[in-house]
Amino acid sequence: MVARSGEFDLIARHFAPIAKRDPAALSLKDDAAVFSPPPGCEVVVTTDALVADVHFRNIDTPETIAQKVLRVNLSDLAAMGAVPGGVVLTTGYNRDLPEDWIARFARSFGEDCATFSVSLLGGDTVGTPGPTFFSLTAFGYVPAGRALRRDQARPGDVLAVTGTLGDAALGLSVLTDAFPGLDELSKKFLSDRYWVPQPRLTTSQACMARNARLAAMDLSDGLAGDCRKICDASGVGMTFNLADIPVSEAAKAVLADDPACWNQILGGGDDYELLIAGGPDDIAALGDQVTVIGTVTNQTGEVLLKDLDGKMAELAPGGFDHFK
């Protein structure tokens, strides 16, 4: 076990300075934080755990891990239409991690909190002989009764996504030395997409500005699996057009060499893009923030994919599941 400061010294040195930005944290000197939501708002709460060599690679930098820990939770808030408020962070550091690693993690975490105007309100810090892990709970605010929900999709709705799909899954493959013929710029783009998610908070608030019936969720475990969560909640089916799925130039280069990588793009995780269902006019109002990729049907639970040859087939569930 490496020598480093004790729990309370670590908190005081590396995390209390972040918490000082918000008086609700009480400088991390009390047992809990105290805060109220803005008038007329409800509190949206989400939590995610990230474990070394499950959600991030143990050899990844503390800077990118810190960004991922925060941003995957902000993506959940975006999916609900919430404006981020504060977070509570639990950290479990492997006993062999040096304090410099923790300092770099905290510095990056604090910078990202400032980027997204998020307050650190508290948490817990432990050491463990096992893998390093993090659990972050995020609080956001949404006008009362107006949270974006998965149960609001209706037959005839248009389906749209933000950004491009599959980059993170391909990026993880790049980091395991797949695609040796891919150019270096494409490799960097894809690996960056794996390391640092981009929570679509701006598009989320554009959805809220419509004040319309919209269903939304973030794609953390792959389109093929995640889309069924909206189907189940809303009692609908979906049809997607493969030709309309937005892919980056780097992903196109991968597909040109190996079209079978479509399976990775549709079923891989870590996209953290938004899947949105709504009326055609409401989706069109989002402009170039989204790409239309399909429609909602009345065939409950049925998810179909029209391939590049125009043939229709069921889209296999795929997606990441911790218990499979």
Binding site, residues? 31, 46-48, 55, 76, 123-124, 150, 218, 220-221, 270, 320
Residue 133, CA distances (Å) to 62, 89, 286, 322 in order? 12, 11, 37, 15
The binding site for Mg(2+) comprises: 31, 46-48, 76, 124, 218, 221
The binding site for substrate comprises: 55, 270, 320
* Strand bridging mode 290-297 / 214-219: unpaired
294: Cβ–Cβ under 8 A, 6 or more apart, which residues? 158, 159, 238, 239, 240, 241, 244
Coil, helix or strand at residue 103: helix
Q: Which 8-state DSSP code applies to residue 245?
A: S
> CA-CA distance, 133 to 140, in Å (whole number)?
23
Tokens at 284, concatenated? 């069109």
Q: Which residues, listed in sequence order, are joined to residue 305 by a DSSP beta bridge?
A: 240, 313
- Please classify residue 146 by burial: count the beta carbons closer than 10 Å to its beta carbon, then call 0-12 exposed, 13-18 middle and 19+ buried: middle
The binding site for ATP comprises: 123-124, 150, 220
> CA-CA distance, 315 to 220, in Å (whole number)?
17
3: Cβ–Cβ under 8 A, 6 or more apart, which residues? none
Answer for the pair 227, 296: CB distance below 8 angstroms, yes or no: no
> CA-CA distance, 259 to 130, in Å (whole number)?
39
